[in-house]
Structure 1
């Protein structure tokens, strides 16, 4: 049985996705105590119940008690209401409005923190670098979004939309995006938009596109170029708008591995070929592809508890800080 030196010292993080929940438990030194994946339920009650069941199963796997848990962080798709942590419009989960902390905290007895899943993943990705440099996490999945970490903290912007590069239009004559605009970055490199444009059956349509492109299929070649062009545009937007030192790329499309990375590098270098300014930014040296399946979102969620404690210190901590 794991027991932390101060009783409650285990940090739990959950990445609650549309179909599965990835959960991790971290020891005080950051070591991984356990990891598991479970199906995600649909609807508010099922989401909360799934979180509680995942925490309980994780405790069993990691060899610690529920009473050892100091904090639970939840990364979840949707908007997170500033100041309350309430999840809004998580449509893929059947959630219109849900206060996870209010529903789950009493059952665990630990501090809860809730964040958008991509922003949580950004925090987890930043923790892997150990250098404190500013960075952006670019999520290439069904959709496209980014989270930004500066000074070790998530940068949300004035209204929480910092990093929403997927809905920047880069081609006014391009495909119609789900947001209503034309030619958004997401229409070029989002897995959902690519699958729709491909229009052929298959369990892994983006992988099918890459495979078909290697046989010379004209449509596949065009869509593969779109993906690289869109991802390169997202990297440019993040560096030119925030000037992050590093752009770490994750999400489901990283399963394409070296093929995605090679295409992205080629697109970035092609764009820079005629621009001394773009070459000076060395974008090709500022990107990094995370390993497919890396649990950065769950790890980032586990770290949310630390940030919540820093933002809302206990009276004992305030007394110690002021002597």
Structure 2
């Protein structure tokens, strides 16, 4: 086996690990339920790496890259504000703790930034914005081949741009943020879905079936995502915009809805129309573990 890298995507419900070769091909993948709490997160991550070692029959001695939600100090390998993971203290020393357990170097990155690197590998484009539409709304930026984290690690926090002063109170403390319109949690609140069908899928299916309320909600949601795309595109003018996150399981339906909203927004503006934002959109295939692949690339 040639040089390979290990990447972990640690989320509140699951931890996904992959082994990726020099060409970016996925050689093995393992998924485990994430145990909450500091010890649980480290224990789960270590278990996934051991399972990858067993699956490949290799010791996998190289660097392990980790993508995790929250504010990450990439240099120190520490994380805080990791929502729903129940980590201890202010800065949690994930890199050192997991590295000691596995006997390898561990590098840590915010999960959206890791996914952005995965989107670069998937698309072959090195100038892109990745828009993650999950529980929240955030973006990652790779500009001319360089990941932009920002001076305070807040580059791409487009979900917290307020667009409606009379809107819903956001968890960040501001009112009417884009995230309150264009996120998985916003969809779940607007269109609760009983049973196993995710709210986004249920809403889009109802809209497809002609339900007027569902059509209005879908269009409002798509317009919110389009507004995030427009803000990002006007700020940094990326070559490609990739839609990802849990809601991107909708696939082509999502791309079409957001592209349509972008075309509507550009209809009265020759300037916006000339930028062809709708034509720059792509969506992550539902089977592609973009954050885990991006985390593996951190090891390089």
Q: TM-score range, shorter-chain basis?
A: over 0.9
Distance 2:260 2:23 in 1: 39
Alpha carbons of structure 1 residues 200 and 74: separation in structure 2 relative to 1, 3 Å = closer
Whether 1:75 aligns to 2:67 is yes
Distance 2:229 2:5 in 1: 32
Distance 2:119 2:28 in 1: 18
Distance 2:102 2:192 in 1: 46
Taking the TM superposition and a 5 Å limit, the aligned residue runs for 1:264-303 are 264-303=258-297
2:51: which partner in 1? 57
1:153: which partner in 2? 146
Whether 1:84 aligns to 2:76 is yes
Alpha carbons of structure 1 residues 216 and 33: separation in structure 2 relative to 1, 3 Å = closer
1:237: Cα distance to partner? Answer: 1.1
- Provide the secondary structure at the position in 2 that maps to 1:48: helix
Task: Say what the alpha-carbon RMSD is for the aligned residues.
Answer: 1.7
Higher Rg: 1
1:200: Cα distance to partner? Answer: 5.5
- Provide the secondary structure at the position in 2 that maps to 1:180: coil
Taking the TM superposition and a 5 Å limit, the aligned residue runs for 1:1-323 are 2=1, 4=2, 9-65=3-59, 68-81=60-73, 83-96=75-88, 97-132=91-126, 134-199=127-192, 201-203=194-196, 204-306=198-300
**Any idea what the Cα deviations from partners look like across 1:279-310, whole Å, max 9, x if unmatched?**
1111011111111132110011011111xxxx
Q: Which moved more, 1:209-218 or 1:185-194?
A: 209-218
TM-score with structure 1 setting the length: 0.87
- Provide the secondary structure at the position in 2 that maps to 1:223: helix
Matched residue pairs, number?
A: 297
Distance 1:11 1:219 in 2: 47
C-alpha contact 1:123 1:153 (8 A) present in aligned 2: no
Distance 2:251 2:193 in 1: 22
